[in-house]
Amino acid sequence: MPASVSVAASARLHLGFLDMNGGLGRKFGGVGLALDAPATRLALTHADKNAVEGPESARAAALLERAQKRLGVTRRHRLAIEEAIPAHAGLGSGTQLALAVSAALRRLEDLPYDPTADAALMARGARSGLGAGLFQFGGVVVDGGRGAHTSTPPVVARAEFPDAWRVLLICDPDAVGLHGADEHDAFAELPPFDAATSGEVCRLVLMQILPALAEAELSPFGAAVTRIQELVGDHFAPAQGGRRFTSAKVEATVARLLADGATGGGQTSWGPTGFVFVDSDAAARRLLGRHGAQARQEGLDISIHRGLNRGAKIDAVYAQIA
């Protein structure tokens, strides 16, 4: 049995829901991408009583207690959070923290690894299986939505994100994406998503995004992402002040980047983080050089990222026997 376990789980982009109509018996579904950063990093060891320290410690303490109870673990633990994905920024912070805690506990207590079960156990993935799928596999993942008897929405497709491509993230630290009760209320109050629009989104994923990834063609990939973001963004606009983006400053910056050669622009989940794609590190650095100063003057954070084509990293350390 390990003496300690460390887990590193990276952020993700939620590129859009597939079907919020539900007419075929499944609802939501989605497409998402794992990023190389930011990440949640934590370490778990045995202790006389539960103790949690570091960023998001209160949230993590509740997750640790839940995981212990649901997995039937009676021993107590010390949990050290070294780094945490920013909360309520559209980067999947809550799900990745929950899955990292449960994965660490399973490994430390010699229990089977099961992110799909843990998503349900930790009350994550009510509408999306992307968090669990990306935690386990990385890359670009498509989940099949929630059916009448679904526990965690299943992964139905996965593709590698081309190594040469880059993602520029644009975040407004003064804005917060919808979450919790406000998010629940927004979904309840939004108008129906018509079947024709759902059909267009699904076609874009199956016949444009996935083939473009397979053949490393950025232009059709980006065009499909932009179109999905337009369709989904228009649907969610009533809950976002009438805009496709939570932050008007992020929206304007994304538009400038798209006009200057980037592609596939949009907002991840409820934001406020926006994104665009480019075909190389050099292209990303050129755009950052041209637009970074203005973005920072407006109080925005802008950074360059890679896709991450692997799941969370889980490492165990064993005590040496004298």
DSSP string, 26-88: -BEEEEEEEEEEEEEEEEEEEESS-EEESTTHHHHHHHHHHHHHHHT--SEEEEEEEE-PPTT
Residue 126 domain flag: yes
| C-alpha–C-alpha distance, residues 221 and 280, integer Å | 15
| Strand bridging mode 76-83 / 51-53 | parallel
CATH of the domain at 297: 3.30.70.890
Per-residue pLDDT of the chain (322 residues), as tens digits, is 899 999 999 999 999 999 988 999 999 999 999 999 999 999 999 999 999 999 999 999 999 999 999 999 999 999 999 999 999 999 999 999 999 999 999 999 999 999 999 999 999 977 899 999 999 999 999 999 999 999 999 999 999 999 999 999 999 999 887 667 667 776 777 777 899 999 999 999 999 999 999 999 999 999 999 999 999 999 988 888 888 899 999 999 999 999 999 999 999 998 999 999 999 999 999 999 999 999 999 999 999 999 999 999 999 999 766 5
DSSP 228-249: HHHHHHHHHGGGTTTSSSS-HH
Pairing of strands 76-83, 140-143: unpaired
pTM here?
0.94
Looking at the structure of the chain, the number of domains it has is 2
| Cα gap 263→232, rounded to integer Å | 17
Q: Tell me if the bond preceding 38 is cis, omega within 30° of 0.
A: yes
* Domain limit, last residue, from 160, 183, 217: 160
CB atoms within 10 A of CB 145: 24
Would you say the C-alpha torsion 66, 71, 75, 77 has a positive or negative sign?
negative
Is 311 part of any domain? no
Residues 255 and 219 in one domain: yes
In a domain, 74, yes or no: yes
Gap between the Cα atoms of 50 and 317, Å rounded: 20
- 116 and 190, same domain (yes or no): no
Range of the domain at 39: 4-160
322 assigned to some structural domain:
no
Query: Nearest Cα to 247, choosing from 89, 129, 121?
Result: 89
**What CA–CA distance (Å, rounded) separates 205 from 145?**
14
Residue 30 lies in a domain: yes
Indicate if 15 and 154 belong to the same structural domain.
yes
Q: Percentage helix, strand, coil, to 5, in the chain?
A: 40, 25, 35
Same domain, 186 and 300: yes
- To the nearest 10 degrees (0 to 180), the angle between helices 218-236 and 195-204 is 160
84 and 228 belong to one structural domain: no
- Enter the tokens of residue 293: 């100063």
Q: Residues 35, 147: one domain?
A: yes
